[in-house]
Amino acid sequence: MPRNYAEHVKNSICLPGLISNDPIESGQPNNKSRLGYPSMKSVQESSLNEKPDHLNLSISFRFIHMMIHAVLLALHELDLLDDSDLPNRDYCREHFENDYKFLCQLSTEPNQCHVWLFKLINHLIDSNFLQEDCLNSNEKVIEFEQRIENKLIIPHIDLITEEIRKYKLKYEQFLRQK
């Protein structure tokens, strides 16, 4: 395992959940790849219905954005992003918490959103979401984000209440078997 992921993230990867519709915001046109973390936007600037043009649902953007900040936060907690100009630990935590709050608000079951998110994360392990090449261009990131929206979020969005109920039943069965 590399000692520090900062150089890899800054120089090799376009992080999902960060493509902006506003070329002025980043000072670069949207078709130009922006490696690393191109735009430091405060939590206060985030909005519930924010999403890039290539996604249909703001809940898709919020899920992807939250997962990226969860990974960055984990790398910070493991001290694998030392001496980096990437967002710091507090920034990642604030964005993670804000995205979770927005996801709960967008959910049809706000008090049970964590169960639905856990199910989505379990589905991410499926082979449908394996990324064979590096996310080193906006086009690859857009394809990846659209695959998550079309194969993960949309199939599960209308069934949140039912899926939460089924997931809880399966979990109860699992506990009884132990």
**pLDDT tens for each residue of the chain, 178 residues long:** 455 566 666 666 667 666 555 443 444 444 555 555 666 788 898 899 998 888 999 999 999 999 989 988 898 888 887 766 778 889 899 999 999 999 999 888 888 888 888 888 888 887 666 767 777 777 888 888 898 899 889 888 777 777 777 878 888 899 999 7
Q: The whole model's pTM is what? A: 0.77
Q: Residue 25: its pLDDT value, please?
A: 43
Q: Where are the domains of the chain?
A: 6-177
Q: What share of the chain is helix, strand, coil (3-state, %, to 5)?
A: 60, 0, 40
pLDDT value at residue 20: 56
Report the C-alpha gap between 139 and 33 in whole angstroms.
Answer: 8
pLDDT at 59: 93
Alpha carbons 128 and 77: distance in angstroms, whole number: 29
For residue 105, give the DSSP letter.
H
What pLDDT, on the 0 to 100 scale, is given for residue 38?
60
